[in-house]
């Protein structure tokens, strides 16, 4: 059955996606590291119209290298980052994989921004690696 669900640490925010992630990417950029508080971010991309959310989210906006405005959506109660959006792809949600209930759908296809990875982070050489963003 396609789709998955997830939510924040305290449970105030919950979501359901009707579809499996279109793509899952590990991102080792500094923004992902800072915003997730983890060694790298694993992001599951889904069409925004496939996702139903309940609960209130707060946002934080910043600019990416690309000049796109990035918006982080997080739970105001527990602080969990739930998903991000980019002005470059407004109809796509980048769901933070750690919030997903069903770990079977978290299957990263590539590592991005390896140039800024933490040296100790192990890398799966079986998937594609990019020094920064892949060339479009």
Residues making contact with Zn ion (CB under 5 A): 8, 10, 12, 27, 29, 32, 75, 77-78
Distance CA 105, CA 56 (A): 25
49 or 60: whose CB is closer to Zn ion?
60
Cα angle, residue 28 at apex, residues 106 and 91 outer, rounded to 5°: 60
Q: What is the smallest separation between the CB atom of 129 and Zn ion, expressed in angstroms? A: 14
Distance CA 92, CA 90 (A): 6
24 forms bridges with which residues in the sheet? Answer: 44
Question: Closest by alpha carbon to 40, among 135, 110, 128?
Answer: 110
Q: What is the smallest separation between the CB atom of 87 and Zn ion, expressed in angstroms? A: 15
29 or 44: whose CB is closer to Zn ion?
29
47 or 79: whose CB is closer to Zn ion?
79
Q: What is the smallest separation between the CB atom of 44 and Zn ion, expressed in angstroms? A: 13
10 or 59: whose CB is closer to Zn ion?
10
């Amino acid at each position: 059955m396609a789709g998955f669900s997830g939510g924040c640490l305290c449970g105030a925010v919950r979501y359901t996606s009707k579809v499996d992630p279109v793509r899952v990417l590990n991102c080792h950029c500094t923004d992902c590291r800072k915003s997730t508080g983890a060694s790298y971010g694993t992001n599951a991309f889904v069409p925004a119209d496939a996702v139903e959310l309940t609960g209130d989210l707060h946002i934080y906006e910043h600019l990416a290298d690309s000049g796109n405005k990035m918006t982080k959506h997080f739970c105001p109660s527990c602080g969990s980052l739930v998903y991000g959006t980019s002005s470059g792809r407004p109809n796509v949600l980048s769901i933070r994989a750690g919030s997903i209930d069903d770990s079977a759908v978290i299957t990263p296809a590539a590592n991005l921004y390896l140039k800024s990875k933490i040296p100790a982070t192990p890398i799966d050489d079986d998937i594609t690696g990019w020094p920064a963003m892949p060339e479009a």
